[in-house]
């Protein structure tokens, strides 16, 4: 949940003849346009918000120059990294409802963040849509919304385990960007391959939980978090 200033990075890189690539998966094309901010290449895991239903795996690269297309086509041809027709169908079908889904993800993400921000058992909540986030102003400047990814800290690994055992609507799973809400233990999932020392430097403590807030009824989501936190 640490943001990168895409315009500033692009300016520095371009002054030195380098190109900038942005993984825009957490934001989706609905909430952030890296090419308009100066980046040269954008990547999306279509597995996430673009497909939106956690039933297809894929990715997309979007270049800003004709030579990007030639380079991507050569890699696809040489390595065979090509989506099947069915994966394309699922991604295209998902994209048709993406703006609507993102609106609800946004509304729910904000509601959940506001709920967690005043919960006594929760600390170090990271959601760029809250004015308390150290990069809130950057988020407002470069994003069209704040998305539905957030993370927070419980006091220990044991508390995190009790929380994950207690959730009923949120699922304990690592992916993101689907219609269903997910919660995961960062140290043993997304950051399991990172050394404990580096995790500590990154602020990924043993009690850190990541949420991908889905599009369910937001009162139900908050009630679920509330009862799971009560059991911590
Ligand atoms: C930001 C981001 N980019 C890319 C990926 C890779 O996506 P895929 O699972 O489609 O290979 C992930 C997966 O978790 C991700 O979180």
Q: With 90 as the cut, is the pLDDT of residue 158 above it?
A: yes
Shared domain check, 203 and 168 = yes
Return the ligand 1 atom nearest residue 190 CA: 14
The C-alpha atoms of residue 82 and residue 18 are separated, in whole angstroms, by: 27
Instruction: Calculate mean pLDDT across residues 62-80.
Output: 94
Mean of the pLDDT values across residues 190-197?
Answer: 94
CB-CB contact of 147 with 171 (8 Å)? no
pTM above 0.75, yes or no: yes
209 pLDDT tier (thresholds 50, 70, 90): very high
Please give the pLDDT value at position 65: 96
Return the residue whose CA atom lies nearest to atom 14 of ligand 1.
175
Classify burial at 55, counting beta carbons within 10 Å of its beta carbon; exposed 0-12, middle 13-18, buried 19 or more: exposed
- Spacing, Cα 45 to ligand 1 middle (Å): 5
pLDDT for residue 81? 80
Q: Are residues 102 and 69 in the same domain?
A: no
**What pLDDT was estimated at residue 148?**
98
The number of folded domains in the chain is 2
Model confidence pLDDT, tens digit, residues 100-123: 999 999 999 999 999 999 999 999
For range 195-221, the mean pLDDT: 96
Q: Sort 18 into a burial class: Cβ within 10 Å, 0-12 / 13-18 / 19+.
A: exposed
103 shares a domain with 33: no
Q: Which of 72, 95, 118 is the last residue of a domain?
A: 95
**Of 72-81, 98-107, 146-155, minimum mean pLDDT range:** 72-81
User: What's the rounded Cα separation, in Å, for the pair 61 and 72?
Assistant: 8
Which percentage of the chain shows pLDDT scores above 70? Answer: 100
Same domain, 71 and 185: no
Residue at 1 is within a domain? no
> Residues with Cβ within 6 A of ligand 1?
23, 25-26, 45, 47, 57, 59
Give residue 175 CA to ligand 1 midpoint distance, Å.
8
Domain boundary at 46, 71, 95, which? 95
Q: Say if 74 falls within a structural domain.
A: yes
- On whether both 21 and 126 belong to a single domain, the answer is no
- State the distance from the centre of ligand 1 to the C-alpha of 58, rounded, in angstroms: 9
- Whether the per-residue pLDDT at 80 is higher than 90: the answer is no
- Closest Cα to atom 4, ligand 1: which residue? 45
Last residue of a domain, one of 64, 95, 126: 95
Are 89 and 204 members of one domain? no
Q: What is the mean pLDDT of residues 157-163?
A: 98
Quick check: 174 and 184 in contact, CB under 8 A?
Answer: yes
Mean pLDDT of all residues in the chain? Answer: 97
- Do residues 84 and 136 share a domain? no
Protein residue whose Cα sits closest to atom 1 of ligand 1: 25
25 and 81 in one domain? yes
Nearest-atom index, ligand 1, CA of 174 = 14
């Amino acid at each position: 949940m640490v943001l990168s200033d895409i315009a500033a990075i692009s300016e520095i890189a371009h002054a030195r003849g380098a190109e900038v690539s942005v993984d825009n998966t957490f934001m989706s094309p609905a909430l952030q346009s890296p090419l308009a901010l100066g980046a040269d290449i954008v990547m999306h895991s279509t597995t996430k918000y673009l497909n939106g239903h956690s039933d297809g795996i894929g990715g997309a690269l979007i270049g800003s120059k004709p030579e990007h297309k030639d380079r991507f086509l050569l890699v696809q041809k040489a390595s065979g990294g090509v989506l099947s027709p069915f994966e394309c169908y699922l991604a295209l079908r998902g994209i048709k409802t993406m703006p609507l889904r993102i609106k609800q993800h946004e509304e729910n993400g904000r509601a959940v963040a506001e709920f967690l921000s005043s919960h006594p058992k929760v600390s170090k909540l990271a959601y760029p849509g809250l004015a308390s986030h150290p990069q809130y102003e950057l988020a407002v400047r470069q994003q069209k919304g704040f998305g539905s990814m957030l993370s927070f800290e419980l006091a220990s690994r044991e508390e995190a385990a009790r929380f994950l055992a207690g959730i009923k609507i949120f699922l304990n799973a690592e992916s993101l960007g689907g219609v269903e809400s997910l919660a995961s233990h960062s140290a043993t999932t997304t950051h399991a391959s990172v050394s404990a020392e580096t995790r500590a430097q990154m602020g990924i403590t043993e009690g850190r939980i990541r949420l991908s807030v889905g599009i369910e009824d937001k009162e139900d989501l908050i009630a679920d978090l509330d009862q799971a936190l009560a059991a911590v």
